[in-house]
Amino acid sequence: MKISKKIKSQIESGSWIRKMFEEGTALKKKYGEENVYDLSLGNPVMEPPKKFFEELQRLANNPKPGLHRYMPNAGYINTRSNIANQLKKEIGLNFSSDDIVMTCGAGGALNIILKTLLDPNDEVIIFSPFFAEYIFYIENHNGKHIIVPPDNNFHPDLNIFEKSITKKTKAILINSPNNPSGIVYPAKLIEKIANIINKKQAEFQTDIFVISDEPYKKITFDNIKSPEIFHYFNNGIIATSYSKDLALPGERIGYVAIHPEYKYKEEFIDGITFCNRTLGFVNAPAIMQNIIANLQNITVDIESYKLKRDFMYDNLTDMGYTINKPQGAFYMFPKSPIENELKFIEELKNENVLVVPGRGFGLEGYFRISYCLENKTLEGSLKGFKSAINKLNI
Where does a domain end: 243, 275, 292?
Answer: 292
Q: At what angle do helices 105-117 and 133-140 cross, to 10 degrees?
A: 40
Secondary structure (3-state) at 87: helix
Q: Are residues 203 and 73 in the same domain?
A: yes
Indicate the residue among 261, 292, 323 that finishes a domain.
292
Q: What CATH number is attached to the domain comprising 26?
A: 3.90.1150.10
Which residue range(s) make up the domain with 111? 50-292
Domain identity same for 204 and 336: no
Residues 15 and 62 in one domain: no
pLDDT tops 90 at residue 367: yes
* pTM of the full structure: 0.95
Strands 209-213 and 169-175: what pairing? parallel
Same domain, 248 and 335: no
Confidence label for 15 from pLDDT (cuts 50, 70 and 90): low
Please check whether residues 109 and 172 belong to one and the same domain: yes
| Statement to judge: residues 54 and 151 lie in one domain | yes
**Span 373-391, mean pLDDT?**
96
CATH number at residue 204: 3.40.640.10
- Looking at residue 244, its amino acid is K
Please give the Cα distance from 26 to 17 (Å, whole number): 15
Quick check: 247 and 372 in contact, CB under 8 A?
no
Give residues with Cβ within 8 angstroms of 11, minimum separation 6: none
131 lies in the same domain as 226: yes
Do residues 63 and 170 share a domain? Answer: yes
Contact 210, 318 (CB under 8 A): no
Q: Are residues 25 and 130 located together in one domain of the fold? A: no
Q: How confident is the model at residue 1 (pLDDT cuts 50, 70, 90)?
A: low
Structural domain tally of the chain?
A: 2
pLDDT at residue 26 greater than cutoff 90: no
> Are 74 and 218 within one domain?
yes
The mean-pLDDT minimum among 18-27, 143-152, 171-180 falls in 18-27
Together in a domain, 216 and 243 = yes
pLDDT at residue number 391: 87
Lowest mean pLDDT among 36-40, 91-95, 290-294: 36-40
* Cis amide leading into 186 (omega within 30): no
Tell me the pLDDT tens digit for each residue of 270-306: 999 999 999 999 999 999 999 999 999 999 999 999 9
Domain boundary among 262, 292, 322: 292
End-to-end Cα spacing for the chain: 49
| Same domain membership, residue 62 and residue 34 | no
pLDDT digits (tens, 9 = 90+) for 248-279: 999 999 999 999 999 999 999 999 999 999 99
Strands lying side by side in the sheet with 209-213: 100-103, 254-258, 236-241, 209-213, 169-175, 123-127, 144-148
